[in-house]
Structure 1
Amino acid sequence: MKLKTPAVALLSLALVVPLALLARADGDALPGTAAPTADQATTSKLVYGLLSDSRYAYRPRALDDALSQDIFKRYLEALDGGKQYFTVADIDKFGPYKTQMDDAIRSGELTPAYDIFAVYKQRVGERIAHARALLKQDFDFSGSERWEYDREKAPWAADTQELDGVWKKSVMNDWLRLKLAGKQPDEIRKTLDKRYATYQRTVNELKSEDVFQTFLNGYSSAIDPHTDYFTPKTAENFNQAMSLSLEGIGAQLQRQDDLVVIREIIPGGPADMNGKLKAGDRIVAVGQGKSGPMTDVIGWRIDDVVTQIRGKKDTQVRLEYIPAESGVDGKHAQVTITRQKVKLEEQAAKAETITLPAVDGQPERRIGVVKLPAFYQDFEGRRRNPNDYTSATRDIGKLLAQFKADGISGVVMDLRNNGGGSLDEAVELTGLFIDKGPVVQVRESGGRVTVNADTKPGVAWDGPLAVLTNRGSASASEIFAGAIQDYGRGLVIGETTFGKGTVQNMVDLDRWPANEAPRFGQVKLTIAQFFRVAGGSTQHKGVVPDIAFPVSVDATEYGESTYDNALPWTKIAAVPHTQYGNFAPLLPRLEALHAARVATDKEFEWWSKDVSDFRIEAAKKYVSLNEAERRAERDKQETQRKQRQAERKTLGLALDPLADDAADDGLGANERDIVKDAAREKLADKRPDPLLRESAAILADAIDVLGHDRTLSAQVLPESTMPGSWSD
C-alpha cells in the first residue's frame, strides 16, 4: 500500500478524543443489530497499513496478539469506561475476542467489534429500564451512603445485582442534586425519567459508522495517545474547526428533546444578515433550494440536521421553524437563506488591554493581552490564495500593530487551555517576536532531524513579552512558549504545560483509491516528535514557567504523563539560536514582588482557595448522599459567593456577573433554557480573571525593575542582542 502524506503538519491535542459512541458520523441507522459495511472493511485494512508501517507512523506497532489485547481493553473502555453496563460474565463471554481484534482489523472482518457493541446496546437498555423503575420509589438521604463517581479503576461488576447498587446510588445523586435546587418529587421524577429516556434514544440512534470509528480508535489509541481515526463527517468537522470557517447559514444548533434549536446566531453570518431567525427558534423541516421538498427533521440526530442545512456557498436552503416565543404547537414560519462562508470569529484570537494603576512611584502601565484559543489555519484557503487566508499569526499580527499604535507597554500572550493546532502557525507566530532563527526541531521515525525556522526578517512586536500557560496549554502552545523561553525573549508565567511533544498529520484515506466522494475517512497520524531549540523535549515534562502560579490540576490526573503508552522524554542536540535575554537574575526580584502583591490581592486569594478546595474534593472521587451534608456544603458555598460579591462592592472590584447564578441547578446542558444558557456562557467570559491581571502585573514589574536597575538590566538583557528594549 502506498499513501501520500499531506504536507500540512498538525499539533492538535486530542485531549478528549472521540472515545464514547456519542461521536457523530454518517452511516446507516442501527436497526437493532449493527453490521460492518464493505467500505469499513476496506478502511480497516488501509488504517492497518498506515499504523504498522514505519514509513508513516512515528512509532509503529506490530498488529499481533499482544496489541490485540490492548485494543480489546481500549474498546471496552470506550464503550463502558465507567463500568456501569458490563458484568464479569459479559467480559468473560468476550474473552475469545481478546486475541481476535488483530485478525479482524487486518482482514476487515469486523464482526467481533459489532458483537460486543450489540451486547453493550442491550445492557444499556437494561440499565436504563432499571434506572427509570427506581424513580417510582422514594429515597432516604439521611444515611452515610456515597456515590463513588470515578469508576475507571473499579473492577467489573460481579453480577447485575451489584450493578443495581451502583445505579441506585447514581440515580440518588441525580435526584439529590435536583432536590437541593428546589425541585419537588413529581418534577424530579419527570426530569430524570426524560433524561434517562433521552440517553436510551441517543444510544439507539447510533449508526454503524459510530461503532466503527470507536473500534478503530481503540486500535489507533493503542499505537499512541494522539493518533485518531475520523470518519468522513468527523474529518470534515475537524478541518472546519481548524480553518475557523464553514459554508452554511451561520447558526449554532443544539438538540433539545426531539427538536433542534438555535442556540446562537453567528454575527455577520447569512442568518444574522437575513434577520428572521433568532436564538430559541426550533427547526422542524429543511428544504433544498427555492422549491425542493421540505423534509421533516423532528427526532433527527443533530448531525443529520446540520448536514441538511450546510451546503455550498451561494446555494439556498429553506427552514421551517417554530418561533421561540411560541409553544411547541405554535404556528410555523419559513425562511429562505443563501448559504455563505461563515467565519467562526468567536474562536479567533482576541485582544484586550489591562490598565495597571501607578503604584509606589511607578507609572501607570497599559498591558495588551492576546487570547489565543488555538493555532488555527485555513489550509485549503492558503493553498488557493497564500496572500489571503484565515491564520492565527495573521490575525495576531494585526492586533500587535494596533498595540504599537496605542503605545502599549507590554504584551501577554494568553495560551491557557490552548490545545494546539498548526505547526506552521506555531513557527510563524514565534517569528512575530524574534528576528529570524530556528523555532522547533522535528525528528522523524527514521531519526532524521529537521529544523523549522522563522525566515522572515523583522518582528511585529519588539517590546516586553510574557506568555501565560496552564496545564491545558499543549503542543503548538508548548512550541511557542518553549521557543520564547529558550530565546530569552519573554517570561513564561503560570502552570507547567500539558507535555505533548509529538506531531500529527492528517492522512486522507481516499487519496490512495482516488475516490470522487469521501468514503474512507482520515487518520490523524503521529509522524514525528518535536524538540525545543535548546534540545529538550516537552514530552511528559512540558514547559516549566519562570514564575509559577498554584497548580490547579494535578499532573497525575491530567496531561501527557497520564497516558500509559505516551512516548518517553528524551533530548537531542541544541541548535544555535540568539539569546535575547537571560531572566534568571531577575526572577528572585519578580517572585518577591509577586508574593507581596498576591498576599493582599483578594481575588487571587479567592482563586487560590477555590483551587485548593477543588483539588481536595476531586481527590475524594465521591460525593456524599446525605442531604444534610450536601445542603450544608451548598449553603456554605452560597454564603461565600454572597460575601465575596459584597466584598467586591466594598473594595471597588469588578463584580462577578455569575455570582447570583452559580449554584448547581442539577440539570444537564440540553435540559436548560437554551437562550439563557447561551447568555450565561457569554457572561462567563466576563468574570474577573486574577491570573491574567497578575500576569500583566508581573510583566509590568519586569519593565519597571529593568528600567531602574541598569546593572541588573545589563545582566538580563544585553542591549546588543535585544530586538527592542524593556526599559524606559
Structure 2
Amino acid sequence: MKAHPALLLLALIAPLALLARAPGSDPGSALPAGPSADQATTARLVYGLLSDSRYAYRPQALDDALSQDIFKRYLEALDGGKMFFTAQDVARFAPYRTTLDDALKSGKLDPAYAMFALYQQRVAQRSAYARHLLQQDIFDFSGNDRWYYDREDAPWAAGGAELDTLWRQSVRNDWLRLKLAGQQPAEIRKTLDKRYANFAKAVAELDGTDAFRSFLNAYTGSIDPHTDYFDPRSAERFNQSMSLSLEGIGAQLQKQDDVVVIREVLPGGPAMKSNRLQAGDRIVGVGQGASGPMEDVVGWRIDDVVEKIKGPKGTKVRLDIIPPEAGLDSTPVRVVLVRDKIRLTEQAAKAKTLDIPARGAMPAKRIGVIELPGFYQDFAGRRSNNGDYVSATRDVARLLAQFRAARVDGVVMDLRNNGGGSLTEAVELTGLFIDKGPVVQVRESGGRVSVENDRAPGVAWEGPLAVLVNRGSASASEIFAGAIQDYGRGLVIGETTFGKGTVQNLVDLDRWPANETPRFGQVKLTVAQFFLPGGSSTQNKGVVPDIRFPASVDASEFGESTYDNALPWTRIAAVPHTRYGNFTPLLAKLDALHDARIAGNKEFQWWSQDVAEFRAERAKKYVSLNEAERRAERDKDEAKRQQRQAQRKALGLQLDPLAADASDDGLQAGERDIVADAAREKAAESRPDPLLRESATILADATTLLAGSKQLSAQVLPETGMATRWAE
C-alpha cells in the first residue's frame, strides 16, 4: 500500500490537473478569454519586481529569449507528461514563443489563456477516449507490450493517432494494476470510468485564477527555481504552513468524488470538542453564523469549501453532515461549531529516545532524537511582540530541556526531508548548540555580504550531537547542518543534501497600492545567496555528511543540480568562528564500526536492497504489460514482505505495521476508503527506521571512543570543556 501524499489541513493543494467542476459542463466555460483587471495589474507588478536589481538577486530582462523559456515552462506545467498536446498543437502556439514577454509587460495575457483553454479541451477529449477504451476488447496481457510512462524527454506526439496509442497503453496499465489487486472486470471498468470522468471534470473546473497562477509561475520559474507567485488564497495557505496555525474547525479534509470528506479530526479543535464529527463524515452544506442561509457544497472544489468553513476565531459555522454509514441521499445532521485557532501539531518538532544496547566493549547508551519537519515560525505573531508565537527553535529548546532532565547520552537532530523555512529559525536553532558566533553569511545582489549571528549567550545542549540528513534536507536544514559541521560541533550523518543555497523573501504585492483586502497576492522572491561560516556555499553541492549512507535517490534525478537555471556553486571568504572540534581523526573508526555492524544488520540491509531495486526500476522508465511477468513481480514482493516480517519476529525486531498491505492496490488517493487510508498513514509513522537507529548508534560509538582514549579525545575535541561533555 503506497503512503498517502501529505495533505494540508482544511486545504488540498492539488496538481494543476487534479482540481474539479460539474459533470457535462463545457470544458472551457469557466475560463475567460483573458485576465481580469487585477490580474493584468499583478502581471505588471511582478514584472517590475523580477527585473529590478533592488529586489531580485538575479534580475533578468524580460525579452524574447526569456519569453521562449517561459513558453517552455508553461507547456511543462500544462502537459509535462506530453499526453494531451500534439506537435501540431505546439506548432499552433509557436507565435507565442517570443511574445509572452510583451504580454506580461502589458498585462494582456490572452495567449496564456488560449493555451490553457486548449489544454482543457484536449483533456476532455483524452478522458472521453480513455472511457471509450474501457468498452473495447484490449485487455489481453499475454504479449510483450510495455508502458513507457516517463515522457519528459520524449518528443510531442505527431498527431492524434500516436496519442491514441499512448493512452491505450496507459489505460491497459491502469486495468492491469487493478486486476492484479484482485478486482473483477466489471469493478475495474466502473473504477476507471469514474476515475477518467473525474479527471476531466477536475480540469474543466479550472478557472481564470488557476490559468493566471500557472502562467505567472512559469515566468517566476524562468528566473530561478525558487521564485514563486502566490495568489491571495495560496499566499494565505503558505503563511498557515509556516506558522503551523489557522483559524477554523480543526479537521483535515479530502475530496472524494463530488463530496468533501473529513479525513481526520484534530485533537483539541472545535470539531473534536463537539464530539459530533468523525473521520469519514461527508460535508454537504455550509452556513455562516447562527442563522445564515445554508449552501449546498456537493460538487464544489475543495478549496472553495475550505474557504467557507474556515474563518475568524470566535465566529460560528454550521455544517450539514452525512455520516459514513449513511447513503448520500440521507437527511443530513446539522452541526454548529465555533471556530478557533488551530495549532498544526503534526508538523511541529517531536522527540523520542532510543536505547542503544551494549555491544561487546561498547556500553549501553540512551540517545534522544528530535524530528524537525520544517523551520517554521509565526511571522505575524513574532512581529506583534506579545511573546506568544510558534517557533521551531522554541519547541526544540523545550525538548532539549527534557533531554537534559532525562540525562540522555546524546542527541540526534533528524532533518530528513526537512525542506527548510525561516532563515531566522535556522540561525536561532543553531544557537541552541553553539555559544554565540556567525551562523550564515548572506550575499545580496549587489555583492554586499552580511553575517547572521547567534547573539544569545550559552547553549541549550552541550553534549554529543549528530545531524541526520538526506537528499530532501534543503535550505535552512543545510544552513543548520553546514554550520554544525563548520563549527565541529557535531557529526553530520546520512546523504548529501539538496543543495539549495539561496534566500527568499515574501513580497506582498498589495503593499504598493495599499489595498485593505488582498487582491494581487505575494511573490516568494530570491533576494540573496547564503554561505556557511567557512565560506562555502551549499548551492548545488549541498552538505556532504561525515558518515555517508547509500544514496536513496540519484543527484541527477532530484536536487538543486537538476534545475537548468540554478545558480552555480561558489565560495567567499570565511568569517572567524569557534572550532569546537575536528572529527576527521574519528571518522575512519566510526566508518569501520558502522560497516561491520550493517554487515549483520538485517534492517539496514533490507533498506539498502530496496533502494537499489527502486533505483533500478526507475532507470527502466517503463513497466511491462505482461500479466504473468507483473504477477510474478507482485508475488515476489509479497513473499519478500512476509519473509522479512517472519525474520523480524524470529530476531525480536520491531514488526512492520504495514507488512500485510499489498504493495500496489491500483487505486488513487480519492478512490480509497478515507478512514482506512488515514489509519495506514498513521501506522506508517511507526514503521521500523534502521537509518535513525544506526545514526543514534554511530553517535553512541563516538561518545564511547572519545571517552576511552584521552589522546583521541584531545585530537577531536581540543577544547577541554567540550571533550568532557562528549565523554560524560
Q: What's the TM-score bracket when you normalise by the shorter of the two chains?
A: over 0.9
Output aligned runs, 1:371-390, within 5 Å.
Answer: 371-390=371-390
Please give the alpha-carbon distance, in whole angstroms, between the structure 2 residues aligned to 1:641 and 1:726. Answer: 40
CA distances 1:390-411 after superposition (whole Å, capped 9, x unpaired): 0000000000000000010000
Please give the alpha-carbon distance, in whole angstroms, between the structure 1 residues aligned to 2:127 and 2:670. Answer: 18
Do structure 1's residue 641 and structure 2's residue 637 form an aligned pair? no
Which residue of 2 is the match for residue 526 of structure 1? Answer: 526
For residue 384 of structure 1, report the CA deviation from its aligned partner: 1.4
Residue type at the aligned position of 2:133: L
For residue 137 of structure 1, report the CA deviation from its aligned partner: 1.5
Q: Secondary structure at the match of 1:526?
A: strand
Which residue of 2 is the match for residue 6 of structure 1? Answer: none
Please give the alpha-carbon distance, in whole angstroms, between the structure 2 residues aligned to 1:447 and 1:18. Answer: 38
Give the conservation status (yes or no) of the 8 Å contact 1:435–1:723.
Answer: no
Which residue of 2 is the match for residue 422 of structure 1? Answer: 422
Give the conservation status (yes or no) of the 8 Å contact 1:282–1:322.
Answer: yes
For residue 721 of structure 1, report the CA deviation from its aligned partner: 6.4
Which residue of 2 is the match for residue 4 of structure 1? Answer: none
Q: 1:396 to 1:224 in 2, by over 3 A?
A: same
Q: Secondary structure at the match of 1:726?
A: helix
In percent, how many aligned pairs have the same letter?
Answer: 71
Which residue of 2 is the match for residue 76 of structure 1? Answer: 75
For residue 32 of structure 1, report the CA deviation from its aligned partner: 5.1
State which drifts further: 135-144 or 210-219.
Answer: 135-144
Do structure 1's residue 592 and structure 2's residue 588 form an aligned pair? no
For residue 140 of structure 1, report the CA deviation from its aligned partner: 1.6
For residue 328 of structure 1, report the CA deviation from its aligned partner: 1.8
TM-score (norm 2): 0.96
Which residue of 1 is the match for residue 60 of structure 2? Answer: 61
For residue 23 of structure 1, report the CA deviation from its aligned partner: 7.2
Output aligned runs, 1:245-260, within 5 Å.
Answer: 245-260=245-260
Which residue of 2 is the match for residue 34 of structure 1? Answer: 32
Do structure 1's residue 90 and structure 2's residue 84 form an aligned pair? no
Residue type at the aligned position of 1:151: R
Please give the alpha-carbon distance, in whole angstroms, between the structure 1 residues aligned to 2:237 and 2:46. Answer: 20
Q: Secondary structure at the match of 1:355?
A: strand
Q: 1:387 to 1:689 in 2, by over 3 A?
A: same
Residue type at the aligned position of 2:82: K
Please give the alpha-carbon distance, in whole angstroms, between the structure 2 residues aligned to 1:32 and 1:426. Answer: 43
Which residue of 2 is the match for residue 613 of structure 1? Answer: 613
Please give the alpha-carbon distance, in whole angstroms, between the structure 2 residues aligned to 1:287 and 1:475. Answer: 42
Please give the alpha-carbon distance, in whole angstroms, between the structure 2 residues aligned to 1:330 and 1:78. Answer: 41
For residue 299 of structure 1, report the CA deviation from its aligned partner: 0.4
Which residue of 2 is the match for residue 133 of structure 1? Answer: 132
For residue 383 of structure 1, report the CA deviation from its aligned partner: 1.1
Which residue of 2 is the match for residue 292 of structure 1? Answer: 292
Give the conservation status (yes or no) of the 8 Å contact 2:442–2:531.
Answer: yes
Q: Secondary structure at the match of 1:659?
A: coil
Residue type at the aligned position of 2:252: Q
Q: 1:372 to 1:410 in 2, by over 3 A?
A: same
Which residue of 1 is the match for residue 489 of structure 2? Answer: 489
Q: 1:357 to 1:248 in 2, by over 3 A?
A: same
Do structure 1's residue 665 and structure 2's residue 665 form an aligned pair? yes
For structure 1, list consecutive stretches of 5 or more residues without a partner in the other structure: 1-15
Give the conservation status (yes or no) of the 8 Å contact 2:539–2:560.
Answer: yes
Q: 1:447 to 1:18 in 2, by over 3 A?
A: farther
State the aligned residue count: 710
Q: Secondary structure at the match of 1:368?
A: strand
Q: 1:23 to 1:380 in 2, by over 3 A?
A: farther
For structure 2, list consecutive stretches of 5 or more residues without a partner in the other structure: 1-11, 22-26
Which residue of 1 is the match for residue 281 of structure 2? Answer: 281
Please give the alpha-carbon distance, in whole angstroms, between the structure 2 residues aligned to 1:681 and 1:586. Answer: 39
Residue type at the aligned position of 2:85: F
For residue 720 of structure 1, report the CA deviation from its aligned partner: 4.0
For residue 329 of structure 1, report the CA deviation from its aligned partner: 2.5
Please give the alpha-carbon distance, in whole angstroms, between the structure 2 residues aligned to 1:543 and 1:481. Answer: 7
Which residue of 2 is the match for residue 104 of structure 1? Answer: 103
Please give the alpha-carbon distance, in whole angstroms, between the structure 2 residues aligned to 1:197 and 1:364. Answer: 59
CA distances 1:118-176 after superposition (whole Å, capped 9, x unpaired): 11111111111110000002312111111111101100000000000000000011000
Give the conservation status (yes or no) of the 8 Å contact 2:499–2:559.
Answer: yes
Which residue of 2 is the match for residue 119 of structure 1? Answer: 118
Give the conservation status (yes or no) of the 8 Å contact 1:22–1:202.
Answer: yes
Output aligned runs, 1:550-565, within 5 Å.
Answer: 550-565=550-565
For residue 652 of structure 1, report the CA deviation from its aligned partner: 0.4
Give the conservation status (yes or no) of the 8 Å contact 1:24–1:210.
Answer: no
Please give the alpha-carbon distance, in whole angstroms, between the structure 2 residues aligned to 1:199 and 1:364. Answer: 55
Q: 1:238 to 1:32 in 2, by over 3 A?
A: closer
Following TM superposition, where does structure 1 have runs of at least 4 consecutive aligned residues deviating by more than 6 angstroms? 16-19
For residue 553 of structure 1, report the CA deviation from its aligned partner: 0.2
Which residue of 1 is the match for residue 6 of structure 2? Answer: none
Output aligned runs, 1:233-632, within 5 Å.
Answer: 233-632=233-632
Q: Secondary structure at the match of 1:427?
A: helix
Q: 1:211 to 1:405 in 2, by over 3 A?
A: same
Give the conservation status (yes or no) of the 8 Å contact 1:254–1:261.
Answer: yes
Residue type at the aligned position of 1:281: D
Residue type at the aligned position of 2:436: K
Do structure 1's residue 47 and structure 2's residue 38 form an aligned pair? no
Q: 1:23 to 1:405 in 2, by over 3 A?
A: farther
State which drifts further: 137-146 or 340-349.
Answer: 137-146
For residue 30 of structure 1, report the CA deviation from its aligned partner: 5.9
Residue type at the aligned position of 2:110: T
Please give the alpha-carbon distance, in whole angstroms, between the structure 1 residues aligned to 2:625 and 2:201. Answer: 28
Please give the alpha-carbon distance, in whole angstroms, between the structure 2 residues aligned to 1:450 and 1:559. Answer: 27
CA distances 1:265-290 after superposition (whole Å, capped 9, x unpaired): 01111111111001000000000010
Residue type at the aligned position of 2:48: G
Please give the alpha-carbon distance, in whole angstroms, between the structure 2 residues aligned to 1:501 and 1:547. Answer: 22
TM-score (norm 1): 0.96
Please give the alpha-carbon distance, in whole angstroms, between the structure 2 residues aligned to 1:583 and 1:20. Answer: 47
Give the conservation status (yes or no) of the 8 Å contact 1:356–1:364.
Answer: yes
Do structure 1's residue 172 and structure 2's residue 177 form an aligned pair? no
Q: Secondary structure at the match of 2:235?
A: helix
Q: 1:239 to 1:481 in 2, by over 3 A?
A: same
CA distances 1:524-580 after superposition (whole Å, capped 9, x unpaired): 000000000000000000000000000000000000000000001110000000000
Please give the alpha-carbon distance, in whole angstroms, between the structure 1 residues aligned to 2:189 and 2:155. Answer: 30
